[in-house]
Amino acid sequence: MKTSNDCTNQNFLNYVKSISPKTKQRRSLIRAFWVGGVICMIGQTFRYLLEFGLGLSGDELSSYVSMIMIFLGALLTGLGVYDRIGKYAGGGSIVPITGFANSVVSPAMEFKTEGYIYGTAAKMFIVAGPIIVFGIASSVLVGILYFIGLRIF
């Protein structure tokens, strides 16, 4: 009786082990989907507000929208709210531009004890630095390739 009970326990534990990571991963995908979607919808709302409210368009419009989203991301990180969203949503909070702001503010706050220059200002770019380096480098590459391509063909 005892052995069979152990056996069922073991089976049950194996069953739990085989099921739980999958459902956990599936849940994380759903969370990333809806939180990421909602953040983008907030961005779209600001797009509409600036487009119909202030009459902005084109590059100016999208620049101001990203400025507002970065402002919100930085503010929520400062208040400690964004880290909670991040724990819940994972990729849903990392990939939007608010996550970029979070990656700037979060280490900047953390390393404030090391001073305002080598602490805050230097550590701001732990995650954002590579993004800016690769972003600007690849855009220069694209620009030069297009410049050459347009004049040859």
Partner 1 sequence: MVFEIFLTYLKVFVVGGAICTIAQLFINYTKITAGKILVYFLLAGVLLQAVGLYQYLVDFAGAGATVPICGFGYLLADGAIKGAKIGLFEAITGGTTAAAMGITAAIIFGYIFALIFKSKSKRN
CB-based contact 66:37 (threshold 8 Å): no
114-143 residues in contact with partner 1 (CB under 8 A) are 116, 120-121, 124, 126-128, 130-132, 134-136, 138-140, 142-143
Given 4, 150, 152, 153, the residue binding partner 1 (CB under 8 A): 150
- How many angstroms separate the Cα of 6 from the Cα of each of 1, 2, 11, 17, 101? 9, 6, 8, 16, 52
For residue 80, how many C-alpha atoms fall within 13 Å in the half-sphere facing its CB? 1
Nearer to partner 1, 7 or 24 (CB): 24
- Contact track, partner 1, 16-55, x by CB under 8 A: ---------x--xx-xxxxxxxxxxx-xx-xxx-------
3-state secondary structure of 120: helix
Closest CB 49 distance from partner 1, rounded Å = 12
The total of other beta-carbon atoms located within 10 Å of residue 72's CB is 18
- How many angstroms separate the Cα of 79 from the Cα of each of 72, 96, 110, 148? 10, 18, 13, 48
Closest CB 103 distance from partner 1, rounded Å = 7
58-117 residues in contact with partner 1 (CB under 8 A) are 59, 62-67, 69-71, 74-75, 77-80, 83, 89-92, 94-101, 103-106, 108-110, 112, 116
Closest CB 8 distance from partner 1, rounded Å = 31
